[in-house]
Amino acid sequence: MCGITGVYFFDKNRQVEFQTLARMNHKIFHRGPDDAGFFLKDNVGLAMRRLSIIDLAGGTQPIQDEEEKFTIVFNGEIYNYKDLRKDLKKQGHRFKTHSDTESILRGFMSYGDKVFSKLNGMFGLALYEAENRTLTVTRDRIGIKPIYYYEDHEKLIFGSEIKSILEFGNLKNSLDKEALYEYLTYLYIPAPKTIFSNIKKLKPGHFLKINPDGVHVEKFWDLKYEPIENLTLQDATDKFGELVEDAVKIRMMSEVPLGAFLSGGIDSGTIAALMQKNSSQKINTFSIGFPVETEFNELPDSIETAKKLGTNHHTLVVEPDSISLLEKIIYHLDEPMADSSVIPTFLLSEFTKTKVTVSLSGDGGDELFAGYLRHKLVKGAILYNKIPSFIRKEVLGNLLKTQKVREQTPGKFESLKRVWRDFDGGSEFTFLRWITNFNQDFLKEICTEKILNDFAKFDFHKVAKHYLSDGFNGQGELNRILNFETKVYEPDDLLMKVDKMSMANSLEVRVPFLDHRLVEFAAVLPESMKLKGFDSKFLLKNFSKSLLPEQVVRKKKQGFVPPLREWFRSDLKDFAKENLLSSNAFTREFFTKDKVSKILDEHIKGERNYEYQIWVILTLELWAKQFGRMIND
């Protein structure tokens, strides 16, 4: 596991300065504290930071072939590299190392870009071909490892993190207003945009080709949803078991200590169970909790699961200095991202790193097998709209009009009215509302007139609607939703969060559920094996019931989030007011002071619950304090 960065000048006579490249590389020191490597030739400079996991002695990068025609820097792990290595040896390749990096290099020499489809793993990498002065930069199918890039008429700069690109210096960057709009909508910024107008995310399953003629983006993989309706539950369960166990086994390959996150839910529990099954000794598992009692405390269930599995379980109740912690987390995110689970993810990674260097996690199960509440609500909306039109519109619809639906208002009846309103709008409306943080009505209330005029140019939910329609390659109403979850939410929120928070602590996290073979298998399952009635992750539960305690298999889905609601009424109350109500606040350009003050007061008094809205604005403000100076155009 590493971090990579590099520069390509389109002028073949312009050379990359070593000092510049070294500064860029040092910005991602945390991703690889064990080693550094550099390559400078012609108009190209490549650099990497290494966290040593495989071939500790010989895996130093960059790696070149014998004639120095091909050069690679690589971030990630390739789990089938030994099979690829055997194939390439038969073709006459002679290897200098035992690393997976060299297998990619020589695979590229034999197969060109087609080698990316032969790799099973997570990767962000760059390959330089000296003879034709071509640089190829690519990202794995699912988007487990990130790649960012900046392009202007002189150069292309890339990196595992935005901060290494910014370190190049004197880059033209304005605030991307459409990206800001999407951040307020989704809590994150979908690829290819970032908050910086001239810095892009490379989409998963794509690669860049950079040469003196310019930059081209190409796709090497896509996911198709083509359900096999005559597949039996037993056959599907057997095949899933075969795939997931192999995905776990190959991810246990490591020359350094290895463990697993264990939250107390079915996803991480299944991964830990299969790890323990395939280990000759007790595996290390890790869980954290907060001292505030909330419905999201999973420590008791994680302890129960660990007892059943016989793992060496480590737990920690954390009482963080929330203010300094937030500033540290924002630095590592590079751009605004308001998924509050970044906080426990960072703390869990920090705790886990005290014992191991590699951890497996259960991320991905909800996106593959419809594990979120919003998926059940979409199912409810589909069924609601099967009610005869006369009853639905004339009776229920007119009754709904008599009810005042209020957002952020506590109480079961208020929640029921909101769900009823959603169902009446249809399945797509229901899904879009449940992935929306600042809806259009709220934006009109809180935003300044200037930013509202800017926002008026943008299509609300454009990205989501694309993946629900034009960007959907398959069949099924639920699969349309999962298409968005897998191709947008997963890489741009879930995986980005895990990568940044784990690598901030020099910890490698591996995700067996996102083995591309499992992802492709889930896409051909009948929808009823994912969400059967209102029973989510049905196939996964059918497989895991013999591995885990019954209460873990059947338990209600819980989020991995901190007690923000309580923090904003106690520890973070004054901090939020100080930052968001200051006359010098960066966000003053976007949000009116009176409205921000009102939502803070209503939340603190317990009249409304605005924890997520406050968190979104505060995250943006804290980001601006650290990165706002980079906005210069």
Q: What pLDDT, on a 0 to 100 scale, did the predictor assign at position 312?
A: 97
> Does 106 fall in a domain?
yes
* C-alpha dist (Å) from residue 456 to 183, 185, 460, 513: 15, 14, 9, 40
Lowest mean pLDDT among 265-274, 350-359, 550-559: 550-559
> Does 71 fall in a domain?
yes
Is there a single domain that holds both residue 207 and residue 183?
yes
To the nearest 5 percent, what fractions of the chain are helix, strand and coil? 45, 15, 35
Q: With 70 as the cut, is the pLDDT of residue 139 above it?
A: yes
Q: With 70 as the cut, is the pLDDT of residue 406 above it?
A: no
Mean pLDDT of 128-148: 98
In the three-class reduction of DSSP (H, G, I as helix; E, B as strand; rest coil), residue 212 is classed as coil
Determine the residue type at 237. Answer: T
Is there a single domain that holds both residue 297 and residue 435?
no
Is there a single domain that holds both residue 128 and residue 33?
yes
How far apart, in whole angstroms, are the C-alpha atoms of residue 559 and residue 297? 9
Is there a single domain that holds both residue 502 and residue 524?
yes
Mean pLDDT of 561-576: 89
Given pLDDT bands bounded at 50, 70 and 90, which one contains residue 574? very high
Radius of gyration of the chain from Cα atoms? 25
Helix ranges, 485-610 (H): 495-503, 516-524, 538-544, 550-554, 564-567, 573-580, 593-604
CA dihedral 599→319→490→357, nearest 10 degrees, is 160
Given pLDDT bands bounded at 50, 70 and 90, which one contains residue 7? very high
Which residues lie below 8 Å from residue 275, measured CB to CB, with a gap of 6+?
Answer: 248, 252, 260, 283, 360
Which residues lie below 8 Å from residue 402, measured CB to CB, with a gap of 6+?
Answer: none
Given pLDDT bands bounded at 50, 70 and 90, which one contains residue 554? confident
> Does 226 fall in a domain?
no
Average pLDDT value for the chain: 92
pLDDT in tens, 527-542: 999 999 999 999 999 9
Helix ranges, 485-571 (H): 495-503, 516-524, 538-544, 550-554, 564-567
Q: What pLDDT, on a 0 to 100 scale, did the predictor assign at position 235?
A: 97
> Does 32 fall in a domain?
yes
Q: With 80 as the cut, is the pLDDT of residue 58 above it?
A: no
How far apart, in whole angstroms, are the C-alpha atoms of residue 52 and residue 74? 12
Is there a single domain that holds both residue 538 and residue 570?
no
Count how many residues are written for the chain: 633
How far apart, in whole angstroms, are the C-alpha atoms of residue 61 and residue 51? 11
Q: With 60 as the cut, is the pLDDT of residue 576 above it?
A: yes
Task: State the residue for tokens 């979908």.
Answer: 190
- Residue, of 399 and 166, whose pLDDT is higher: 166
> Does 496 fall in a domain?
yes
How far apart, in whole angstroms, are the C-alpha atoms of residue 391 and residue 394? 6
Last residue within a domain, chosen from 480, 499, 534: 480
How far apart, in whole angstroms, are the C-alpha atoms of residue 117 and residue 141? 8
Q: What pLDDT, on a 0 to 100 scale, did the predictor assign at position 394?
A: 64
Mean pLDDT of 410-426: 73
Q: With 80 as the cut, is the pLDDT of residue 557 above it?
A: no
**Number of neighbouring beta carbons within 10 Å of residue 125:** 28
Phi, psi of 569 (to 5 degrees): -105, 0
Given pLDDT bands bounded at 50, 70 and 90, which one contains residue 613? very high
**Number of neighbouring beta carbons within 10 Å of residue 570:** 13
Q: What pLDDT, on a 0 to 100 scale, did the predictor assign at position 408?
A: 56
Given a contact cutoff of 8 angstroms between Cβ atoms, the answer to whether 65 and 90 are in contact is: no
- Residue, of 558 and 209, whose pLDDT is higher: 209
Q: What pLDDT, on a 0 to 100 scale, did the predictor assign at position 237?
A: 98
How far apart, in whole angstroms, are the C-alpha atoms of residue 621 and residue 579? 7
Q: Which helix (H) or strand (E) holds 383?
A: helix 373-384
Q: What pLDDT, on a 0 to 100 scale, did the predictor assign at position 374?
A: 95
Q: What pLDDT, on a 0 to 100 scale, did the predictor assign at position 561?
A: 80
> Does 559 fall in a domain?
no
Give the bridge partners for 40, in sequence order: 45
Is there a single domain that holds both residue 392 and residue 246?
no
Share of the chain above pLDDT 70, in %: 93
Identify the top-confidence range among 45-59, 313-327, 541-555. 541-555
Q: What pLDDT, on a 0 to 100 scale, did the predictor assign at position 54?
A: 62
* C-alpha dist (Å) from residue 541 to 42, 365, 366: 56, 11, 12
Is there a single domain that holds both residue 353 and residue 385?
no
Q: With 90 as the cut, is the pLDDT of residue 76 above it?
A: yes
Last residue within a domain, chosen from 480, 499, 529: 480
Q: And the tokens for 70?
A: 């091909």
Supply the range of the domain harboring residue 590: 564-630
> Does 228 fall in a domain?
no
Is there a single domain that holds both residue 208 and residue 242?
no
pLDDT in tens, 463-489: 999 999 988 988 999 999 999 999 999
CA dihedral 477→479→481→487, nearest 10 degrees, is -150
Is there a single domain that holds both residue 159 and residue 195?
yes
CATH number at residue 170: 3.60.20.10
How far apart, in whole angstroms, are the C-alpha atoms of residue 512 and residue 361? 7
Q: With 70 as the cut, is the pLDDT of residue 26 above it?
A: yes
Is there a single domain that holds both residue 265 and residue 349?
yes
How far apart, in whole angstroms, are the C-alpha atoms of residue 165 and residue 299? 39
> What is the number of domains present in the chain?
4
Q: And the tokens for 96?
A: 């200098």
User: What pTM did the predictor assign?
Assistant: 0.95
Query: Which residues in 355-394 are b (16+ Cβ under 10 Å) and which e?
Result: ebbbbbbbbbbbbbbbbbebbbbbbbbeebeeeeeeebee
Last residue within a domain, chosen from 417, 451, 480: 480
**Number of neighbouring beta carbons within 10 Å of residue 541:** 18
Is there a single domain that holds both residue 590 and residue 542?
no
CATH number at residue 280: 3.40.50.620
Q: With 90 as the cut, is the pLDDT of residue 323 above it?
A: no
Q: Which helix (H) or strand (E) holds 40?
A: strand 35-41
**Number of neighbouring beta carbons within 10 Å of residue 444:** 10
Q: What pLDDT, on a 0 to 100 scale, did the predictor assign at position 440?
A: 84
Mean pLDDT of 151-175: 96
> Does 137 fall in a domain?
yes
Given a contact cutoff of 8 angstroms between Cβ atoms, the answer to whether 137 and 73 are in contact is: no
Is there a single domain that holds both residue 186 and residue 140?
yes
- Residue 571 DSSP one-character state: T
pLDDT in tens, 214-257: 999 999 999 999 999 899 999 999 999 999 999 999 999 887 88
Q: With 70 as the cut, is the pLDDT of residue 459 above it?
A: yes
Phi, psi of 286 (to 5 degrees): -140, 135
Q: And the tokens for 27?
A: 């910005």
Give the bridge partners for 158, in sequence order: 6, 149
